[in-house]
Structure 1
Amino acid sequence: MSKFHELINRNTPTLVDFSANWCEPCRKMPPILNEVKAELGDSVNIIKVDVQKDKKAAHKYEITNIPTLLLFKNGKVIWRKSGVTGAREISNAVKKRS
């Protein structure tokens, strides 16, 4: 969990994909997030959190639906979206809040 806290507390935005292996919609997110990373490069960190393995983080950030994306900057949630989300919407959200 300390690596998680280190990443979300950076000045560089960190996008966290809260998901689970058994979740069919969650399986659609990796290629979308790869596209976002390819476009934005080092201007964003992207990590995945399995809600079943890290129940504390899921509870702390009130993750009730998956997939849920949270964008952090300096330890604060600056954007949140649940459900499968397109690369353009995600990229725009990061760019607006960087």
Structure 2
Amino acid sequence: METFKDIISGDKPVLVDFHAEWCGPCKAMNPVIAAIGTEVQGKARVLKLDIDRNQAISNQFQVQAVPTFMIFKNGSVIWRHSGMIDKQQLKQRLLSYS
């Protein structure tokens, strides 16, 4: 089974959606994240991470608000955004690192 570290350590960019079940804006972003995941297949990866179930990782990356989006490449954070974001903007940002 792949670990979080395995996933973010690859040479393809990985968009991580730090979210919570109780978060309204997170729920609103769900279809956007799902669509991006489908559209970037093969070029990038998309991962949803529940902050309540993954507190150690959330703390490690100092996630203080949800949703928070981060793009990782080769194990490092190369981009970060807190709050809702337009689908095209997010997709373009992710693909700019592929």
Q: Deviations over 1:18-57 (max 9, x none)?
A: 0100011110122101221232222111111111111111
Count the aligned residue pairs: 97
Unaligned runs of 5+ in 1: none
SS at match of 2:84: coil
Alignment-derived partner of residue 16 in structure 1: 16
The equivalent of 2:95 in structure 1 is 95
Indicate the structure with greater helix content. Answer: 1
Structure 2: gaps spanning 5 or more residues = none
Task: After TM superposition, list the pairs within 5 Å mapping 1:6-45 onto structure 2.
Answer: 6-45=6-45
Aligned residue for 1:63, secondary structure, equals: coil
Q: Which runs of 4+ in 1 moved over 3 A?
A: none
RMSD of aligned C-alpha atoms?
1.2
Q: Secondary structure at the match of 1:66?
A: coil
> Conserved in 1, the CA contact under 8 Å of 2:15 and 2:45?
yes
Cα separation, 1, equivalents of 2:52 and 2:34: 23
State the SS of the aligned residue for 2:42. helix
